[in-house]
Amino acid sequence: LVGATPDEVVVGNSITVNIHTLIGTFLDELLAGNGPEREEMARADGEWDRSVEPAVLVNELDFPSDHYAIRAQLRQRGIDPDEKLRVVESRDGRTIDPRDIEAALEAHDDVGIVWMPTALYRSGQLFDVERIAAAAHEAGAYAGFDAAHSAGAVPHAFGDVGVDFAVWCTYKYLNAGPGAIGALFVAERHHGLTPALAGWWGHEKATQFEMRMTYTPADSAGAWQIGTPPLLAAAPLEGSVELLREAGIDRLRAKSLALTDFLIALVDDRLPDVSVGTPREHGARGGHVALEHPEAERLSKALTDRGVVVDFRPPNVVRVCPAAPYTSFADVLDVVDEIEAVLESGAHEAYATGAGGVT
């Protein structure tokens, strides 16, 4: 599904915890003077050389939890996140132009980690992982990705395109259900590092139960597991991943694009007050479509009450995700019928805004 060897992928923890441990691990590497083309960095030897404190490059449309975790990891190493979390801005409020990532790398030679999503959570813009990884490496930085919005929907080749590490969840396109366990990728060339959040479940498997007081990391991505995995949150993957494998990620992607093409065409044709905030080119969009409307919050509540499972993302986005394994073209048509009916009748005006919570 993500283009990795079995040793490079493991389930464990949650996305946010996996960001903590992976960003922490690779910051430690940078501070120790290691990293792509970073031999010139002074070895830390217990004292960090402030002039080479590594920065992490992110973007302003990221899922907020990523920034919280990265800021925390910088802080814990005595690095000021206000200075060293470098944020690429969006030109249009919906997407990130890859040229702006490259320009930020040109402008700042302290970037040690480029951390980007594979697909943006709000607009659904799909990033060019290979291009970003190449730019990061050329700048002497690691390339890490949050693949929450593409793993299981879009084929990836993390190993082949040089990704250093990545995280994703299994409760979106991997269909393991709410609260299901997280997953991560660490390229084989980094196996053997000591994770920032070390725990006994990441210990070398052959000797894990010898209960030694010293930690020997597993020689695989398994080292980034921490404690006992929540088996009830992992078990559904046995079924869901098998189904995805049987369907085939390329066929799922083809159907997903056909479903979202159909949705976009219907919206263009029938919903004049709704705009599509997702890029239209196939290569630039993931599996969901962002419908923009000034009353997006009320609209999403009205749709939910009519049995249409969408969600609202402030300020004006209703995310519609026709998951390929089980959504039909007739379902897409029904959703557009419902949106049209709600907006034409004004039914959404009966709903309050600002109640918060998960939608």
Ligand X SMILES: Cc1ncc(COP(=O)(O)O)c(C=O)c1O
Under rule CB under 6 A, residue 15 binds ligand X: yes
Q: What is the token pair recorded at 17? A: 């915890």
Q: Report in angstroms how near the CB of residue 46 gets to ligand X at its nearest.
A: 32
Q: What is the token pair recorded at 143? A: 């390339």
Under rule CB under 6 A, residue 321 binds ligand X: no
Choices 59-67, 107-115, 225-233, 241-249 (CB under 6 A): range interacting with ligand X: 59-67
Under rule CB under 6 A, residue 299 binds ligand X: no
Identified binder of ligand X from the candidate list 26, 115, 121, 312, rule CB under 6 A: 121
Query: Could you give the 3-state DSSP secondary structure of residue 45?
Result: coil
Identified binder of ligand X from the candidate list 26, 63, 145, 312, rule CB under 6 A: 63
CA distance 144 to 166: 5
Q: Report in angstroms how near the CB of residue 211 gets to ligand X at its nearest.
A: 30
Under rule CB under 6 A, residue 148 binds ligand X: yes
Under rule CB under 6 A, residue 14 binds ligand X: yes
Q: Which residues contact 214 (CB under 8 A, 6 or more apart)?
A: none
Q: If we measure between CA atoms, which residue out of 40, 33, 80 comes closest to residue 56?
A: 80
Q: What is the token pair recorded at 329? A: 């073209």
Choices 9-17, 48-56, 245-253, 306-314 (CB under 6 A): range interacting with ligand X: 9-17
Q: Nearer Cβ to ligand X, position 118 or 260?
A: 118
Alpha carbon 108 to its chain centroid, in Å, reads: 24
Under rule CB under 6 A, residue 149 binds ligand X: yes
Half-sphere exposure of 24 (CA within 13 A, CB side): 19
State which of positions 98-117 bind ligand X (CB under 6 A). 117
Under rule CB under 6 A, residue 66 binds ligand X: yes
Contacts 24+ apart (CB under 8 A), 93-96: 93/61, 94/61, 94/120, 94/122, 94/123, 94/125, 94/277, 94/290, 95/61, 95/120, 95/123, 95/125, 95/279, 95/284, 96/59, 96/61, 96/120, 96/125, 96/127
Q: Nearer Cβ to ligand X, position 203 or 288?
A: 288
Is 319 an annotated catalytic residue?
yes
Active site residues: 63, 146, 171-172, 319
Interacting residue ranges for ligand X, rule: CB under 6 A = 14-16, 63, 65-66, 117, 121, 146, 148-149, 169, 182
